[in-house]
Amino acid sequence: MIVAGQVHGGLAQGIGQAVLEGCVYDKETGQLLTGSYNDYAMPRAGDFPEFKLSTNTTLCTHNPLGVKGCGEAGAIGAPAAIANAIVDALSPLGVRHVEMPATPHRLWQIIQQRQGRMAAE
């Protein structure tokens, strides 16, 4: 149960980084504008589907207990996986890259811009 909790937490962090979390600064003053939880979007349990996990135990050979971390995997792989899925979905519009966080507003802007270019061609 501890390992599953760590992996779920890592996935939530990675997905949050990909689609929600972003620091915004005022361009003129450098003041952080997303300095509270009222302004900075963090993922909550209700934002995610149920995760089904499977494990493959491989003991670490570098310590006497054979233990190693487990929660980092989701946090490392999830942002790239989500970003690549978004780019794949938008590739018919010619999108090859999307900045994170890929917020709904940012994606709407990209789609509007690309559809405008396609209509002009």
Quick: pLDDT tens for 84-106.
999 999 999 999 999 999 999 99
Give the CA count within 13 Å in the CB-facing half-sphere of 98: 32
How far apart (Å, rounded) are the C-alpha atoms in residues 3 and 62? 20
Q: pLDDT for 18-35, tens place per residue?
A: 999 888 899 999 999 988
- CATH class, domain 2-120, is alpha beta
Decide: pTM greater than 0.85.
Answer: no
Please give the pLDDT value at position 14.
93
Give me the residue spans of the domains in the chain. Answer: 2-120
Band of residue 48 on the pLDDT scale cut at 50, 70, 90: confident
Q: Give CA separation, 1 vs 24, 80, 116, in Å.
A: 36, 26, 50
